[in-house]
Amino acid sequence: GAGVSQSPRYKVAKRGQDVALRCDPISGHVSLFWYQQALGQGPEFLTYFQNEAQLDKSGLPSDRFFAERPEGSVSTLKIQRTQQEDSAVYLCASSLTPLETQYFGPGTRLLVL
């Protein structure tokens, strides 16, 4: 079946712009995770959903970051008033349950100028 998909794959934003990143998880996967990966670093946890409930948002770096998964499937990560330090690859992953293997999407590479 289809894997995790993300869009857009690349996004260039001017500082101060708002951006929205989309994740379409594997069908039937209850758990959905967002990560931020800076160059040369491992993925850093941002937030976790179980179905439509956002159970953990402890990794979101500021209140400019907001995520939702209203119907328990597709998720959107929104970044308001982007800053240069937001430039990174944003990875989405899904799993059947929180304890099982996470499968990653291709990522969205965000560049804030």
Partner 1 sequence: QKEVEQNSGPLSVPEGAIASLNCTYSDRVSQSFFWYRQYSGKSPELIMSIYSNGDKEDGRFTAQLNKASQYVSLLIRDSQPSDSATYLCAVNMFTSGTYKYIFGTGTRLKVLA
* Number of residues that make up the chain: 113
Between β-strands 10-13 and 108-112, what pairing exists: parallel, antiparallel or unpaired?
parallel
Q: Map tokens 């850093």 to a residue.
A: 44
Residue with Cβ nearer partner 1 (50 or 83): 50
In angstroms, the CA 107 to CA 97 distance is 21
In angstroms, the CA 45 to CA 70 distance is 20
Maximal C-alpha separation, the chain: 38
Residue with Cβ nearer partner 1 (5 or 76): 5
Residue with Cβ nearer partner 1 (82 or 102): 102
Tokens standing for residue 9: 């794959």
Q: Which residues make up the interface to partner 1 (CB under 8 A)?
A: 33, 35, 40-45, 48, 55-56, 58-59, 91, 93, 98-99, 101-107
In angstroms, the CA 30 to CA 93 distance is 11
Residue with Cβ nearer partner 1 (41 or 62): 41
